[in-house]
Structure 1
Amino acid sequence: MTEPLILKPTLHEKIWGGTALRDVYGLDIPSETTGEAWVISGHPNGVVSVINGKYAGKSVAQLWHDEPQLFANKDVERPFPLLVKILDAHQDLSVQVHPDDQYAKAHAGELGKTESWYILAAKPGATIYYGHTATDKAAFDQAVDEGDWDHLLQKVPVKAGDFFYVPSGTLHALGEGVLTLETQQSSDVTYRVYDFDRVDAKTGQKRDLHLADAKNVTSVPFVPEKPVQIVSNVGDLTMTNLVSAPYFNVVKWEIAGNATLEAVAPYTLATVVDGELDLIVDGVTYHLNKAASFILPNDVQTWQLDGEATLLTTTPGPQSL
């Protein structure tokens, strides 16, 4: 019998975190400063395991290596390539940048980190930091050295439903009051550029900055990528293709009724971000509430959806296969 892999998230406390992951998504947060739920992950810093069926108790990383047929994985030595998180920016995150694969491998032994943000909710007036104003590297380095953040950083207003593609090399940060689903390469390499001079309540110290690495990897000038969104329908399902990129493809599913779908990739990752629905695979019904995340592995070639819900789904791009 084929079946989906329904997952249990791991929760991470952050200096900038809050309680929205509990208040909005019903997750069992460890403290009042919980910033991240890693809902689909094979990364060792956030082990996510299956809670149903024959693979119950197995982590995504274990299955990637031990059951490669589930992902049509032809190289068990490489890590599971994708990671999906829900982030609660109760305060501004640090302004940061991530390296590409080549730099990350040489300096951190990891994948690089290209990511994307789907804004789930945003308080009135909320913003993100997205890119910078420097026209050449000398100007960028000078602004960083002088701490001229007001002139260097670009702020963009955001609302629920907005989508941003954030390739490696992009200077960025979520702003206070933003709840986001992040799809990314499976990497935990971050170079912190500016942290608003705040002090960690637990350590009494400011957090480390990584200015040399940040200068090395930040793209100058900043040229935002704005993917064209394509909408299609299957039954009572509306699918909005948010981005088709080298490492991942992100598609929003909005179901209001029922639909039957067929696989278009070796595997599909999905998170219910609103509402609830039934997922029917091989004649078995799985009821999924908000925040539920699952993987449709390679042996699931067709499935049905029934309910009223919004899901964010991810399939691997060509550089992740």
Structure 2
Amino acid sequence: MYKTEPIFLQPVFQERIWGGEKLHTEFHYEIPSAHTGEAWVISAHSNGPSMIKNGPLAGKTLADAWKEQGGLFNKATSNDEEYPLLVKILDAAEDLSVQVHPNDQFAREVEGVPYGKTECWYVVSAEEGAELVLGHHAKTKEDLAQMVELGEWDQLLRKIKVKAGDFVYVPSGTIHAIGKGIVILETQQSSDITYRVYDYDRIDAEGNKRELHLERSIQVTTVPHQDASVEQTETNIGDLVEKKLVEEQYFTVYHWNLNGKALKDMTKDFLQVSVIDGQAALTIGENTFQIEKGTHFILPNGIGKYSLEGHAEFIVSHV
């Protein structure tokens, strides 16, 4: 089963107060509204599980496959943990709220869920001058609490400018926010816990401000802020340039740039693959599949060699 084919997945869309229409205009998805903020493109999370589009598991969710066909992921039968990763594309038509996520220990002890949330972002596109929040200037927890209480956001928040092709690693405990005009592909732990620190005093369609989670935000924030250092390496495989963006505890993420043909060996438990530009042919054994921008799939365990041919860019990840 799936020894010679990828597991293609259907995105799940999430409407957000800050969302827009770029998931339609840039990726040609049929989105539910003009405020579509997120496409959960590889997800086994209960808040938005991806549906499998092909093969014997068509119509089932990725969570079903993980549970019932663990061999596809080289998962030990004794492993009863939930699927570990989640991949999203986010369209920030407006600034996202300033937020922070807990680590595994806090998530388990306080929220009763298996995973905290460390994440990373690949900037797919960004408008001129776009910026995001990454970190803060508080020296102590007391400083942090006081600046939050007084609403000293300009002094507290650390902002950086970004452009297409930039990569940002966001460990749990990092205060952050994606800014207006940015589309990112996010690879993260499979968690949906967000503590909101600041939301620009926005009101929703019913005229209500969104809930803030200040006490827990301060509890889980790393103080003082530390910039995560990531070591990036490049490898050429035929006509494919493989750039390792980050390799750490929860995931390894790559950017692949294909201009021609490449033959690769499947050596990981499974690979998550998102096509972020162009088109290509993927061949496994006797079978060839056409893939293009907006296609998302998993290469399952044990497929052996596979080839890619075309002109395309990918974000690829594994545990």
TM-score, shorter chain, exceeding 0.5: yes
Q: Paired residue for 2:316? A: 313
Match of 1:130 among 127, 134, 153: 134
The answer to whether residue 34 in structure 2 is matched with residue 32 in structure 1 is yes
**Which has the higher mean CA deviation after the structures are superposed, 86-95 or 263-272?**
263-272
Match of 2:214 among 203, 206, 211: 211
How far is the alpha carbon of 1:76 from its aligned partner?
4.2
Structure 1 outlier segments of 4+, above 3 Å: none
C-alpha RMSD of the superposition: 0.8
Write the distance in 1 (CA, Å) between the matches of 2:69 and 2:79.
9
How far is the alpha carbon of 1:53 from its aligned partner?
1.5
Match of 1:157 among 146, 151, 161: 161
Q: Paired residue for 1:319? A: none
Give the 3-state SS of the residue equivalent to 1:140 in structure 2.
Answer: helix
How far is the alpha carbon of 1:136 from its aligned partner?
1.2
Write the distance in 1 (CA, Å) between the matches of 2:60 and 2:216.
36
Alignment of 1:194-205 (within 5 A): 194-201=198-205, 203-205=206-208
Match of 1:100 among 95, 99, 103: 103
Give the 3-state SS of the residue equivalent to 1:93 in structure 2.
Answer: coil
**Which has the higher mean CA deviation after the structures are superposed, 261-270 or 81-90?**
261-270
Q: Paired residue for 2:69? A: 67
Write the distance in 2 (CA, Å) between the matches of 1:213 and 1:279.
45
Write the distance in 2 (CA, Å) between the matches of 1:264 and 1:118.
24
Write the distance in 1 (CA, Å) between the matches of 2:29 and 2:304.
30
Match of 2:59 among 54, 57, 73: 57
Q: Unpaired runs of 5+ in structure 2?
A: none
Write the distance in 2 (CA, Å) between the matches of 1:174 and 1:48.
24
Deviations 1:56-114, CA, capped at 9 Å, x for gaps: 11211001110011111124421100000000000000000000001111222221000
How far is the alpha carbon of 1:264 from its aligned partner?
2.7
- Report the AA paired with residue 37 of structure 1: A
**Which has the higher mean CA deviation after the structures are superposed, 27-36 or 279-288?**
279-288
- Report the AA paired with residue 286 of structure 1: F
The answer to whether residue 284 in structure 2 is matched with residue 301 in structure 1 is no
TM-score by length of 1: 0.97
- Report the AA paired with residue 275 of structure 2: V
Q: Paired residue for 1:252? A: 255
- Report the AA paired with residue 12 of structure 2: T
Percent of paired sites with the same residue = 47
Q: Unpaired runs of 5+ in structure 1?
A: 317-321
Q: Is the 8 A contact 2:18 2:37 kept in 1?
A: yes
Q: Is the 8 A contact 1:65 1:76 kept in 2?
A: no
Q: Is the 8 A contact 1:114 1:185 kept in 2?
A: yes
- Report the AA paired with residue 222 of structure 1: H
- Report the AA paired with residue 155 of structure 2: H
How far is the alpha carbon of 1:161 from its aligned partner?
0.5
Match of 1:185 among 182, 189, 204: 189
Give the 3-state SS of the residue equivalent to 2:177 in structure 1.
Answer: strand
- Report the AA paired with residue 41 of structure 2: V
Match of 1:239 among 225, 230, 242: 242
Write the distance in 2 (CA, Å) between the matches of 1:28 and 1:81.
27
Write the distance in 1 (CA, Å) between the matches of 2:190 and 2:279.
27
The answer to whether residue 47 in structure 2 is matched with residue 45 in structure 1 is yes
Deviations 1:14-38, CA, capped at 9 Å, x for gaps: 0000000000000110000000000
Deviations 1:114-155, CA, capped at 9 Å, x for gaps: 000000100001000000001111111111111110100001
Give the 3-state SS of the residue equivalent to 1:46 in structure 2.
Answer: coil
Q: Is the 8 A contact 1:270 1:293 kept in 2?
A: yes
Give the 3-state SS of the residue equivalent to 2:263 in structure 1.
Answer: strand
Q: Paired residue for 1:89? A: 92
Give the 3-state SS of the residue equivalent to 2:155 in structure 1.
Answer: helix
- Report the AA paired with residue 44 of structure 1: S
Match of 2:276 among 273, 278, 291: 273
Q: State how many pairs are aligned.
A: 315
